[in-house]
Structure 1
Amino acid sequence: MTARYCSLAQQPAPEFGPGLAAERRGALVGGSRMWVNGTVLHYYFYDVAHADRAAGADTSVIPVPGTGELRRVPWAGAKEQQEVVRECFREWRGLGIGVDFAEVVDRSEAELRIGFQAGDGSWSAVGRDALTVGLGDRTMNFGWDLTAPGQRGTALHEIGHALGMLHEHQSPFAGIHWDDEAVYAELAGPPNFWSRDRTRCNILRKLDPDEVNGSVWDPQSIMEYPFASGLILEPEEYRTGLHPHGGLSSCDKEFVLRWYPPVGPPRPAELVPFRSAPLRLGPGEQTDFTIEPVQTREYAVGTFGDSDAVVVVFEERDGEPRFLAGQDDGGTPRNATLKVRLVKGRRYFVRVRLYSTWGSGDTAVMCW
């Protein structure tokens, strides 16, 4: 029987202005969906206890596979399904990564909103794309029983997407030569019922080399689909099928720890209003600051210099950072500058991740 596959919505290729150097463009493509390190990703489960009672809320209309009929199906998930996802969040956290996860019961506080709508497939927004999804909508869905044998890997896979990882078999380094028509035919039938466009987007299309999870193909990655015999023509050893073990591979762990290294205990330096702080960062590096405002007002926080960077402000609440505002100036001639209301007596964190520098001057960050 054909495996059930994760189906990502096709996203437009990142657009940048003309004349970007290849190194600068590569840094932007590779990091554009990654979270700043130290982020706490709050996740919310749609379930019966938290259901919005408004007509049609927390439901959506989906086609019945193979019939053309439509039906309205709720997003709520059973407790045992939710527990599988919790276990998988714990497994990713157990790697010691610098991103943490926390469950919340208020969807407005969640960056990740998780549904269990049967028949809608399994999918997730990729990394920071979750922030572009409306607060009333899901950023992740599980469309089949996660407690069934061999299905726990689906939850690990979708969390991988939420951390910014893409499908491994679409890596241009894989060297996979497909029997295209056999792939289209396989995915058009049960249990996936995919269109040719969806199959091309999720399987046959090659990713930009700067988008992928590493510089080599990892056939054992949690982000790799299993494939039946007869779909892959080359490499020859996979003509009889490709069967990843369904867990986190050593390359998965290496990739996620490279982007999200463990966060040390030392308290970041304070960012004092009207006093610039030099960044002195290399491509892909990050530095953190605290702000403890002496008065309540609107502040601006921004970078200076010829650089591409992501700037994010968090507010400390209940001992953990909560996302407040962020801006990405990647690929533009301007610097990242955002305005936020900071309250006296509270603590805030400013995290700056650098894509690249493209001028000769110094780079810095300041609040004012």
Structure 2
Amino acid sequence: MAANTAYGTAGSGTVEAQEGGAYLGENAYYYCAMQAAPPHPQWDGLVGQRKELINEVGDAWANGTVLHYYFFNQASDVQRVHMSDGSERLYSWVGADEQLAIVRDAFKKWSDVGIGLRFVEVNTRDEAEIRIGFLQDNTSWSGVGTNLLNKEYFGPNERTMNFGWDLRRQPDTAIHEIGHAIGFEHEHQNPFAGIEWDEEAVYQDLGGPPNNWSRQMTFNNILQKLDRASMRGTAWDPDSVMEYPFKKGLIKSPRQFFQDGLRPAGGLSPKDKQRALALYPMLAERPQLLSTAQSVALHVKPGEQLNFQVTPEETRCYDFKTFGTSDVSMVLFEEEGGEPRFRAGDNDTGETRNAALRVKLIKDHKYILRVRVYYQERPAQCALMMW
């Protein structure tokens, strides 16, 4: 596949588009600067297969989720920045129309893969799981998967995604950050990649312009290997949209990247699409009907999902609960205007209890219960019931 390149200007230099970062000429790149993910203390004591299976899909959305995205658009959407000379300046989170258009197109590219997630733009931040700003600080980033819902990290008026440079330099930056938002990590941190770094050269390069990263930021985003169990697919994909470009001299092995640098092909790679479809396959048109006092065995492979239609015969509170030793994420949606709207959810991964919901349902309204199973100690003895 030919390299996906676009040209513009940044300062006095020519700008060439590349994958997770923007190429500024003279082998200088701006990179996606991920923050440390929220901890999962309930997972700390897990071992063996259970830990591996939870890590692999732990931050994934329930398949079939409609993710709403919002662009900050108010004059008050600003951030106070302390300058090196001691002064302060206000910088806007509002993006220009051409920047918004590039992000919308990036959402469409993920949708065109045929995944089970949907993306809908909304006009109020209260509705949005993905809140997008354009603070031009040369850092682009996004929260990962369901971590976007962590209110300790992302308040209701805070960004969950930022684009810190002109996306005309690199439209693939938007595809990359949306990849994080649906649960994918940096590809060069894949423990199966076999990359051997010249670590001091990496620290020196990223510690200087244009990124000016601390050693900890560089370690978190480049040198640190992800947990082997957390990788969706094992083979390294150097053409992934989640891969950074790197100039020559930073990667000692494989040798060709030391001599030539690493330049991903551009856009979503075939493996990107394959992994996305494995995690979020197209949903069946008609989910299974779940009736009151009915026990349903959870006969699925680890990471797979069951979907149930619920149409209550009377208005009252209903209970949903899993039984058996398992790790499950359970989410209830109500169909509203042809779109599933979140009503309640529970996730028991890493805990000794079972996922359970108690929700008031309205007679003849239509609901969808989505149950993603991470782990079952005895698959034939795990079940779901509604009463």
Instruction: Output the TM-score relative to the length of structure 2.
Output: 0.87
1:283-333 Cα shifts (integer Å, max 9, x gaps): 111111111223333332221111111101111111011122211111112
Which residue number in structure 1 is paired with residue 122 of structure 2? 104
Corresponding residue for residue 254 of structure 1: 274
Distance in 1 (alpha carbons) for counterparts of 2:82 and 2:207: 15
**Conserved 8 A contact 1:171-1:217:** yes
Change (3 A) 1:301 1:360: closer
Measure the CA separation in 1 of the matches of 2:88 and 2:228: 39
Q: Higher mean Cα deviation, 357-366 or 227-236?
A: 357-366
Of all paired residues, the percent bearing the same amino acid is 48
Alignment of 1:171-186 (within 5 A): 171-186=190-205
Structure 1 CA distance for aligned equivalents of residues 47 and 218 of structure 2: 33
Look up the SS of the partner of 1:101 in the other structure: strand
Q: 2:103 aligns with which of 85, 91, 115?
A: 85
Which of 244, 257, 264 is the equivalent residue of 1:244? 264
Q: Which amino acid aligns with 1:82?
A: L
SS at 1:251's partner residue?
helix
Question: Which residue identity is paired with 1:242?
Answer: L
Distance 1:248 1:285, change over 3 A: same
1:337 aligned partner: 356
Residues of 2 paired with 1:93 and 1:310: CA distance? 23
What CA distance in whole angstroms lies between the structure 2 residues aligned with 1:198 and 1:68? 24
User: Quick one: which amino acid aligns to residue 98 of structure 1?
Assistant: G
What's the counterpart of residue 162 of structure 2? 141
Moved over 6 A (4+): none
Q: 1:16 deviation in Å?
A: 4.2
Structure 2 counterpart SS, 1:284:
coil
Corresponding letter in the other structure for 2:244? Y
Q: CA deviation at 1:69?
A: 5.3
Q: 1:187 corresponds to which residue?
A: 206
* Aligned: 1:38 with 2:58: no
Matched, 1:327 2:346: yes
Secondary structure at the aligned position of 2:381 is classed as: coil
In structure 2, distance between residues paired with 1:67 and 1:212: 43
Q: How does 1:120-131 map to 2 (within 5 A)?
A: 121-131=139-149
Consecutive unaligned residues in structure 1, runs of 5 or more? none
Structure 1 residues 1-368: aligned runs within 5 Å: 1=26, 2-11=28-37, 14-16=40-42, 20-47=46-73, 51=74, 57-64=76-83, 70-119=88-137, 121-132=139-150, 133-148=154-169, 151-240=170-259, 241-265=261-285, 267-359=286-378, 362-368=381-387
Question: Judging changes above 3 Å, is the alpha-carbon distance between structure 1 residues 340 and 69 closer, same or farther for their aligned structure 2 residues?
Answer: farther
- C-alpha distance in structure 2 between counterparts of 1:177 and 1:207, whole Å: 14
Work out whether residues 251 and 257 of structure 2, in 8 Å CA contact, stay in contact via their aligned partners in 1: yes
Deviation of 1:364 (Å): 1.5
Partner of 2:19: none
Q: 1:167 and 1:63 mapped to 2: Cα distance? A: 30
- From the superposition, tell whether residues 209 and 63 of structure 1 become closer, same or farther in structure 2 (CA, over 3 Å): farther
Aligned AA (2:101) = E
Q: Deviations over 1:80-118 (max 9, x none)?
A: 111101111111111111111111112111111111111
Listed as ranges, the gaps of 5+ residues in structure 2 are 1-25
Mark the CA change 1:26 to 1:244 in structure 2 (over 3 Å): closer, same or farther: same
Secondary structure, aligned partner of 2:230:
coil
SS in 1 for 2:157: coil
Instruction: Determine if contact 1:168/1:212 at 8 Å carries over to the other structure.
Output: no
The count of corresponding residues between Structure 1 and Structure 2 is: 357
1:112-170, Cα deviation, whole Å (9 max, x unpaired) = 1111111161111101111113222111111111123xx11100100110110000111
Q: Deviations over 1:50-96 (max 9, x none)?
A: x2x6xxx52223355x6675433221111111110111111111111
CA distance in 1: counterparts of 2:328 and 2:36, whole angstroms: 25
Structure 2 residue matching 1:323: 3-state secondary structure:
strand
Distance 1:120 1:326 in 2: 36
CA distance in 2 between counterparts of 1:43 and 1:90 reads: 12
Q: Distance in 2 between matches of 1:339 and 1:287?
A: 19
> Please, which moves more after superposition, 296-305 or 238-247?
296-305
